[in-house]
Structure 1
Amino acid sequence: MIEFALPDVGEGLTEAEVVAWHVVVGDVVEVNDVLVEIETAKSVVELPSPAAGTIATVHVDEGTTVDVGSALVTIDDGAGAGDVETEDEEPLVLVGRAPAAAEPRRVRLGASRPSDPPGPGPVIGHRTDAGPRVRTKPPVRLLAKRLGVDLHTVTPSSGDVVSRQDVEAAAALTSEPPVSAVADARETRTPIKGVRKATAAAMTRSAFTAPHVTEWLTVDVTRTMELVHRLRADRAWRDVRLTPLVFVARAFLLAVRRFPEINARWDDEAQEIVVPHFVNLGIATATPRGLLVPNIKDSHLLDLAGLAHAIDALVQSARAGTTPPAEMARGTITITNIGALGVDAGTPILNPGEAAILAFGAVRDMPWVVDGQIIIRKVTQLAMSFDHRLVDGELGSRVLTEVGRLLSDPGETFLHV
């Protein structure tokens, strides 16, 4: 018997919520088959089986929050009914195939086994539906759980996979409140957990630990917008999703290259200022689960096309709830695109541990003075908050004005690493 416990799937995570089981007692699994979906404070993660065998016991109900190290499931690996082994000697394989294991002992679903407890009685994980398991993605299962929708009652609108739209449509047909919320005639109460709980704690810690200073700069980005449209019309760039955010990110990375101290972090325990020789650029992303800040590893090495692809992939995975925990860790500096929501400016709060965050506002047609004449130009506002323990006013101002300079007159600068 092998007892599989909740592993630490990300840096500093201590607990996770069981979102959906993919197996029930009696199922036969192979190595790396998905056993369960869990929601951490950073993402939804599928946990694969560490061994081949038969599911003997499911220890935790869906919707339960458990600590790292708590038993999730016991697998009968055919080695006999002796002592239960724990899977803590080898790291969990979250991606790819694990090493081949011995052929499991096959058991017909529903058949009794010598190790089954005698007599009737509820066993967590037994399948109650008679039909096939519903095909859908982990974020959609999570949405259905939150909206109180039984996926077995939902008919896919296209193909055989239940989509987010299918779940939302099914939820609209019922008057029952979501299982995760308690509502009466005057208010709705929702438990604070998962991403929102982690974000709230991190932002509070950042706001009251790092002394924030925020500076604003209004920039004429007409030439950058012209470059965006010119490259979009170029066949060589037709497979690249170019957005104004990509160019702001590129300008920010070039400014960091010139002023690397803005990429520093404060090590309180060691009482040291640490300046990484790399940039893991965080992109603040609004998702149905709350604010996430995944980051692009070694973004300083990417050209414009590579940066565009990386940002697009990062944002799409964050919104789908499939961001790997590794992409949420070790960020060094962040951009938040508040302009995508139609906002001109704001005071961004630092991502904990980082020295600076740049907010990019909406691009608007506005009157601007050029050579003594007022004409209409494409204008945006940049706001950069920085940790005054690490960044003095001069450094912060130089970085912000460098970003503004590059966006106002990009030339061919953005096209080269």
Structure 2
Amino acid sequence: MTTEVRSLREFKMPDVGEGLTEAEILSWYVKPGDTVTDGQVVCEVETAKAAVELPIPFTGVVEQLFFAEGATVDVGTVIISVAVAGEAPAPAAPAAAPAPAAAAAAEAAEPERREVLVGYGPRTGGSQRRARRTTAAAPAPVAVPAAAPAPAPAPAPVAAPAPAVAVTGDRPLAKPPVRKLAKDLGIDLRAVTPTGPDGVITREDLHAHAAAVAVPAPALVVEQAAEPAAAPVAVPGAGDVRVPIKGVRKATAQAMVASAFTAPHVTEFVQVDVTRTMKFVRRLKESGELGRDVRVSPLLLVAKALLTAIKRNPEINAQWDEAAQEIVIKGQVNLGIAAATPRGLIVPNIKDAGAKTLSGLAVSLGELIDTARQGKTAPGDMQGGTVTITNVGVFGVDSGTPILNPGEAAILAFGAVRELPWVHKGKVVPRQVTTLALSFDHRLVDGELGSKVLADIAGILEHPKRLITWG
């Protein structure tokens, strides 16, 4: 005869590493009394890096929510408890029971499993509960119905059978829930080191991989979000308004200060006659050569011009390694596009953008901008950028001195396109003109290299059909 048992499991704010110590709970997707399953998203939180949906790693009934929406919670603090149900194992025969000494040794040998959340997997080792802050500002637990008396201690629930592993050809081995989690986190399974039996990638492998990769901090703006961020509104004559600095905005401020006072910035400017580029954009839109549903904009050709210039001058796609005192020239171009979102400025990037055709780049650029506007950019999409574009022209701004995205050697600002008097074929005529500004890290990019890259971009935009190959 089997007996149902219940045990209370605690779900803690994830230890995200990288020096982050807290996160804000943006929204709860469950309430006390709801049934949750392993892998189900229970809440969304915002750290200094990004907003992330957190799935719970076990199945049961929600017992209590410890913090309300809007609360800022220390990493390692319990945020939700779940009553987990299962079956008690049948009593073992006396002869099969292990000796007390052997049982104690086995218990000592098995490390405790600490539950952490999205992107930062379980760690083994002794756990130590953090003392909860007792300041007046600490949020009170959310009220919940009275719980049934806790049962006497019982063996852990029996785990449900694991789903079959899906394998096709040379695809990495992983269970369907793990593949879904990898997709949500923006992780390429081929880059993950498996530790499961027979080379199967586990949930813990994904967490460990995500925690090991640094997320680049935000830079400048490129595309305006569809919905502005909710913020206090300043009214003339109504007194001071204070806006809390937290989450992505806090990370932006810290990263820009660090970048400005770490990398010696140099900015160069050039005015460019982009009349032919604008005509080329109109032709591509009208003809549908890149695809019927593909978004075509001047930013697309600016991005392709930058990638072409980098191909000819690969030394600018580099990184400064302070520890090794080396310049690392990157093997591929991960093109960052600075984007304004309701939560602040982020810089998702297009992986290996230099290998894409114009049509492929257009598709990737459209998807990147749409995802950023929806606030759904995965952490993986903000990792590993090598060079950035910021489109200040969408706000009617002619130019600026963009600050480098930390860890990158260059950033290109694309200004507004205006009709100006211009000398063309010996005559002063109205032409469409823009200003480009290239900031670069003078430790690894000297004036000659920076000037060559900027001049190359300008030349391509003056004659786009002659220098850009697309398909």
Provide TM-score, normalisation by structure 2: 0.67
Equivalent of residue 259 in structure 2, options 206, 210, 226 = 206
- 1:261 corresponding residue in structure 2: 315
Contact 2:269 2:438 in 1 (8 A): yes
How much does 1:88 deviate?
4.8
Equivalent AA in structure 2 for residue 284 of structure 1: A
Instruction: Extract unaligned runs of 5+ from structure 1.
Output: 94-108, 117-163, 172-176
**Judging changes above 3 Å, is the alpha-carbon distance between structure 1 residues 89 and 308 closer, same or farther for their aligned structure 2 residues?**
closer
- CA deviations over 1:113-136 (Å, ceiling 9, x no partner): 3339xxxxxxxxxxxxxxxxxxxx
Shift of 1:362: 0.7
Query: Of the candidates 390, 393, 410, which is equivalent to residue 356 of structure 1?
Result: 410
Aligned twin of 2:196: none
Which residue is equivalent to 1:185?
Answer: 238
Report if the CA contact (8 A) 2:259-2:405 is conserved.
yes
- 1:63 equivalent to 2:70? Answer yes
Name the counterpart of 2:338: 284
1:341 aligned onto 2:406 = no
Change (3 A) 1:409 1:91: closer
Structure 2 matches for 1:375-386, cutoff 5 A? 375-386=429-440
Distance 1:294 1:89, change over 3 A: closer
Following superposition, the deviation at residue 317 of structure 1 comes to 2.0
Spell out the pairing of 1:16-55 with structure 2 (5 A cutoff): 16-55=23-62
Shift of residue 112, structure 1, vs aligned partner: 4.9
Deviation readout 1:136-191 (Å, 9 max, x if unpaired): xxxxxxxxxxxxxxxxxxxxxxxxxxxx98x99xx9xxxxx96x99x993111111
Q: CA deviation at 1:325?
A: 1.4
1 CA distance for matches of 2:36 and 2:343? 31
Q: Describe the shift of the 1:184–1:371 C-alpha distance in structure 2 as closer, same or farther (beyond 3 A).
A: closer
Q: Specify the code of the residue in structure 1 equivalent to 2:84.
A: D
Q: Could you state the TM-score of these two structures normalised by the residue count of structure 1?
A: 0.75
The match for 2:280 is 227
- Of residues 286, 307, 326, the one that matches 2:361 is 307
By how many angstroms is 1:77 displaced?
1.9
Instruction: Kindly report which structure 2 residues correspond to 1:46-195, keeping only aligned pairs within 5 A, or say none.
Output: 46-79=53-86, 86-88=114-116, 112-115=147-150, 185-195=238-248
**Rg (Cα) greater in structure:** 2
Per the TM alignment, residue 381 of structure 1 is displaced from its structure 2 partner at its CA by 0.6
Stretch moving more, 313-322 or 246-255:
313-322
The one-letter code of the counterpart of 2:114 is: T
Distance 1:26 1:301, change over 3 A: same
How far apart are residue 54 of structure 1 and its match? 1.0
Give the 3 Å change call, closer, same or farther, for CA 85–276 of structure 1 in structure 2.
Answer: closer
User: Is the Cα contact below 8 Å between 1:9 and 1:325 reproduced in 2?
Assistant: no
Query: What SS does structure 2 have at the residue aligned with 1:391?
Result: coil
Per-residue Cα deviation, 1:237-260 (whole angstroms, up to 9, x for no partner): 321100000110011011111111
| Matching of residue 275 in structure 1 with residue 329 in structure 2 | yes
User: What one-letter code is carried by the residue in structure 2 that aligns with 1:214?
Assistant: T
* Partner in structure 1 of residue 218 of structure 2: none
Residues of 2 paired with 1:90 and 1:304: CA distance? 35
How far did residue 111 of structure 1 move?
8.3
Q: Is the 8 A contact 2:56 2:117 kept in 1?
A: no
RMSD between superposed Cα atoms in Å: 3.1
Give the C-alpha shift of residue 92 in structure 1.
Answer: 6.1
Residue of structure 2 aligned with 1:397, choices 451, 458, 463: 451
Q: Does structure 1 retain, via aligned residues, the 8 Å contact 2:26–2:69?
A: yes
SS at match of 2:238: coil
Equivalenced residue count is 344
Letter in 2 for 1:87: E
- 1:216 paired with 2:223, answer no
Distance of aligned partners of 1:47 and 1:90 in 2 relative to their CA distance in 1, 3 Å threshold: closer
Contact 1:284 1:335 in 2 (8 A): yes
